[in-house]
Chain A
Amino acid sequence: MTLQSFLILLPSIVSGGILTHLIWPDKEFKSILFKLFLGIGIGLGVNSLLVFIYLLIFDRQPGLFVVQILIMVLLVSMLIIRGRPCRFTPIAFKIPGRTQMVFLALAGVMLILGLIVYTNVSLRKPQGAWDSWMIYNRTARFIYRGGDHWRDAFSPEMYWFFHADYPPMVALNVASGWDALGQETVRVPMLIGGAFLLASAGIMFAAVNAYKTLGQASLALLVLFSVSDFIGSGATQVADVPIAFFMLGTGILIFLYSFKVQRGLLVLAGLSAGLAAWTKNEGIVFVLVSLIGLGVAYRKELKQIFPWYVVGLALPVAILVYFKIVLAPPGDLFVDLPSQVGQITDLNRHFEILKQMRLDLMALLNWTLLIIYAFILGVDRSRFHFSAFLACLIIILLQLVGYYSILLISPHHVLWHLSALYRLLLQIAPLIVFLYFSVVKPPETVFQRK
């Protein structure tokens, strides 16, 4: 069943890879490696949009899997018509040196360890975490079991605890997988979680490799996997790793744009940000802060940047707006806004949030070690792109401010709501790790012969 579940996800993943290549047809080896992993998440994200549109038009009539296959065939044809896909520049591929091979081997061992953790958690918690069966797999069950009544997944009769207003990216992928297999199996949500985990690690590695060095990319992968509960969260079928993937993808694509200056990267960055909003409500905040981040950091090039970013955002955001207006029940966060806004004067609330934020941030990464490491290795100014760095820094900081503000005006008891804070921080952790390794000098500089 695991192999079958993997095979039914394959058309979406392949389509995602090709779509990514068609939007950004860079043929450098490092770019292709990055697009291979970016395509996994973009493919699954776009597939969920396709499933949603299909459901709106045809309800639960059979034929979805055929449409997925046809789209894949269409994209492959476009790729063939447009040019020879395998003609990437072989000169760009350098055989790693001995030091780099050591780092690469360490990254390989880490990947195996990550796979062991993922498999262990998946097998011991096959139904996933609390949120997976309360929100994502419940919604998927409604869509799969509900026939033409699939909209009941978003019924206003559903108690707020079920978060029926959450965007259904993960649930739609799970339901479409079950639909293709003809049965409900835990293997589908398990593999979707694993795919996003692998894709996050892959884009981190490939992007740092493209932007910096192979040794730096290996270290970034090591630190990413050391983020507390990152692998575990990916294995428990919740949406935090998928949204983390889209946030990381957006940040990386903005970075890559700063030194490649290719419009396709901005379209993909917009698409990735839009898919973050289509994955979880926190992604809506992310879209807004990414627009601010880009606006501030690239204020002199707004006319060149914004239109392409918005082109990427358009489809997922338009579908999200439709979902929120037509299908989703009211959420639980904004029930009595005037009195909620009044909570901003509650000092105790500020204190509780700050206290928990400090604790959770400290638990996320070993900051002391990272600061000492950066201090000793130093800052790499050779490939420093200030605008990209500033955009990502603003995005991270404003996203934190966004989480803080929501917790501040939340209608729920502050201590209860704070229990979700760590998972929120987990969503931006990969982007923090990427930003860190884009600034610090790569390890190769230490081992260079002078």
Chain B
Amino acid sequence: MQQIKKVIPYLKIGSICLLVAYSFWSVVGQVSQAKQLVNTDGAFFAEWEKRFDPIKESLPFEYGVIGYAADWDIPGKSYDPANTEAEHILTQYTLTPIVVSRDTNHEWILANMTATDFDTWFALQKGKFEVTKYKYNLYLIHRIK
């Protein structure tokens, strides 16, 4: 019993050292993880801004709502939801303060899809439209009243 009592203080010191060592080991791991991150943000977001500059210039207003059509609007089309949603999110982030709605029943609609898909989707739309094609598979559609 006495021998156990003698060991206890060392056990306590050991456990404190272990807790300290573990905490440092964990944070040093975070340092090396953080170092491995690649800064793609700058170029990526700048590229996305560039992509939408002509669209911003073509829209006749600075605030308001536009519709957004993408692969999910094409009947029977199989698509990657994560990618398509990411593109919608980036579009919204870039075009802010314009609201980019998934409802396409608006005077102005932005379509983000390949030429073939656009033809399929556009054939289903009713009414009169003016369509302007941009780079990166972007189409700005103006519904004529």
A432 to B99 Cα, complex, angstroms? 40
B121 located at the interface, meaning its Cβ lies under 8 Å from any Cβ of chain A in the complex: no
A377 to B92 Cα, complex, angstroms? 54
A155 to B97 Cα, complex, angstroms? 11
Whether A369 contacts B31 by the Cβ 8 Å rule is no
Whether B101 contacts A158 by the Cβ 8 Å rule is yes
Nearest CB of chain B from residue A446's CB, rounded to whole Å: 4
A279 to B84 Cα, complex, angstroms? 29
Whether A138 contacts B37 by the Cβ 8 Å rule is no
Whether A369 contacts B38 by the Cβ 8 Å rule is no
Whether A446 contacts B9 by the Cβ 8 Å rule is yes
B20 located at the interface, meaning its Cβ lies under 8 Å from any Cβ of chain A in the complex: yes
Name A405-441 residues within 8 Å CB distance of B: none
Which B residue sits closest to A377, measured CB to CB?
B12
Whether B34 contacts A232 by the Cβ 8 Å rule is yes
B115 located at the interface, meaning its Cβ lies under 8 Å from any Cβ of chain A in the complex: no
* With known contacts A222-B23, A443-B16, A121–B37 Cβ distance under 8 A: yes
A residues within 8 A CB of B39?
123-126
Among candidates A125, A126, A134, A229, residue contacting B93 with C-beta atoms closer than 8 Å: A134
Whether A127 contacts B23 by the Cβ 8 Å rule is no
Among candidates B12, B88, B97, residue contacting A152 with C-beta atoms closer than 8 Å: B97
Among candidates B9, B27, B65, residue contacting A226 with C-beta atoms closer than 8 Å: B27
Interface digits, A97-141 against B, CB 8 Å rule (1 contact, 0 not)? 000000000100110011011001101111100100110011001
Tell me how many residue pairs across A and B have CB atoms closer than 8 Å: 129
A residues within 8 A CB of B38?
124
Name B1-51 residues within 8 Å CB distance of A: 8-9, 11-13, 15-16, 18-20, 22-24, 26-28, 30-31, 33-35, 37-39, 41-42, 45
Whether B99 contacts A113 by the Cβ 8 Å rule is no
Whether B27 contacts A223 by the Cβ 8 Å rule is no
Nearest CB of chain B from residue A163's CB, rounded to whole Å: 11
B89 located at the interface, meaning its Cβ lies under 8 Å from any Cβ of chain A in the complex: yes
A residues within 8 A CB of B45?
127
Which of A142-150, A266-274, A379-387 makes up part of the contact surface? A142-150
Whether A226 contacts B23 by the Cβ 8 Å rule is yes
Which B residue sits closest to A366, measured CB to CB?
B22
B residues within 8 A CB of A150?
97
* With known contacts A376-B15, A443-B16, A110–B27 Cβ distance under 8 A: yes
A162 located at the interface, meaning its Cβ lies under 8 Å from any Cβ of chain B in the complex: yes
Whether A113 contacts B92 by the Cβ 8 Å rule is no
B residues within 8 A CB of A377?
12, 15-16
Whether B12 contacts A138 by the Cβ 8 Å rule is no
Whether B97 contacts A146 by the Cβ 8 Å rule is yes
Whether A372 contacts B15 by the Cβ 8 Å rule is yes
A150 to B92 Cα, complex, angstroms? 15
Nearest CB of chain A from residue B9's CB, rounded to whole Å: 7
B114 located at the interface, meaning its Cβ lies under 8 Å from any Cβ of chain A in the complex: no
Whether B65 contacts A222 by the Cβ 8 Å rule is no
B120 located at the interface, meaning its Cβ lies under 8 Å from any Cβ of chain A in the complex: no
A253 located at the interface, meaning its Cβ lies under 8 Å from any Cβ of chain B in the complex: no
Whether A120 contacts B97 by the Cβ 8 Å rule is no
Among candidates A127, A138, A376, residue contacting B41 with C-beta atoms closer than 8 Å: A127
Which A residue sits closest to B25, measured CB to CB?
A226
How many residues from B make CB contacts under 8 Å with A? 41
Nearest CB of chain B from residue A68's CB, rounded to whole Å: 23
Which B residue sits closest to A106, measured CB to CB?
B20
A226 to B23 Cα, complex, angstroms? 5
Whether A373 contacts B19 by the Cβ 8 Å rule is yes
Whether A110 contacts B103 by the Cβ 8 Å rule is no
Whether B85 contacts A110 by the Cβ 8 Å rule is no
A residues within 8 A CB of B142?
none
Nearest CB of chain B from residue A180's CB, rounded to whole Å: 19
* With known contacts A228-B26, A369-B19, A152–B93 Cβ distance under 8 A: no
Whether A141 contacts B23 by the Cβ 8 Å rule is no
B143 located at the interface, meaning its Cβ lies under 8 Å from any Cβ of chain A in the complex: no
Among candidates A113, A130, A134, residue contacting B28 with C-beta atoms closer than 8 Å: A113
A380 to B26 Cα, complex, angstroms? 27
Nearest CB of chain A from residue B3's CB, rounded to whole Å: 17
* With known contacts A110-B27, A226-B26, A146–B63 Cβ distance under 8 A: yes
A110 to B88 Cα, complex, angstroms? 40
Give 25 CB contacts A-B under 8 Å.
Answer: A110-B27, A113-B28, A117-B27, A120-B31, A120-B34, A120-B35, A121-B37, A126-B39, A145-B96, A146-B63, A152-B97, A152-B99, A155-B65, A158-B99, A158-B101, A159-B92, A219-B20, A225-B26, A226-B26, A232-B34, A369-B18, A373-B15, A376-B8, A376-B15, A446-B12
User: B residues bordering A, Cβ < 8 Å?
Assistant: 8-9, 11-13, 15-16, 18-20, 22-24, 26-28, 30-31, 33-35, 37-39, 41-42, 45, 63, 65, 85, 88-90, 92-93, 96-97, 99, 101-103
Since A117-B30, A141-B96, A366-B22 are in contact, a sample of 4 more A-B pairs with Cβ atoms closer than 8 Å, ordered by chain A residue number, is A133-B89, A142-B96, A147-B97, A377-B15
